[in-house]
Structure 1
Amino acid sequence: MTSADEEEASGIHCRLDELLAERGMTLTRLSELVGVSVVNLSILKNDRARAIRYSTLAAICRALDCEVGDLLVRAE
């Protein structure tokens, strides 16, 4: 399954890559700030995550100063 296929299957797209770029932040730095491994953040960033804990979601949003709806959007 390609990333686009998986995105369609879940109907959710994670904008982590775009938000990091907008803020000039690396995945490694975000990992340090939120206490989640780079590997797990990469899985989320590439739309391969099956689930995410609310605490992780909240930590990412705090670190990126964004809302959940800025990070996770419906795939069109």
Structure 2
Amino acid sequence: MAIIINLDVMMAKRKISLGELSQRVGITNANLSILKNNKAKAIRFNTLEAICKELDCQPGDIIEYKEDE
């Protein structure tokens, strides 16, 4: 199973930079970058909630499931 994080897509749609989102959400650039680049092993619900609030989106807009081929 593969969980894909589409944070970069939502950021592009909302025209917001990594640094700006980092400041608004209260997460370091490094941790947000790890999430954006699909390197994260987990995400806290309060972090996901803060990101969704700032990007005005739903969790499903950021997180996607794809079956392995």
Normalised TM-score (structure 1): 0.84
Structure 2: distance between partners of 1:37 and 1:23: 19
- Residue aligning to 1:4: none
Structure 2 unaligned regions, length at least 5: none
Aligned length: 67
Between the two proteins, what is the percent identity of the paired residues?
Answer: 48
Q: Is the partner of 1:43 in helix, strand or coil?
A: helix
CA RMSD of aligned residues (A): 1.0
What pairs with 1:45-56 in structure 2 (closer than 5 Å)? 45-56=36-47
Structure 1 unaligned regions, length at least 5: 1-9
Task: Give, in angstroms, the shift of residue 71 of structure 1.
Answer: 0.5
From 35, 42, 47, the counterpart of 2:26 = 35
- Residue aligning to 1:62: 53
Normalised TM-score (structure 2): 0.92
From 17, 38, 61, the counterpart of 1:26 = 17
Structure with greater helix share of residues: 1
Structure 1: distance between partners of 2:3 and 2:57: 17
Q: Which has the higher contact order (CA 8 A, sep 6+)?
A: 2
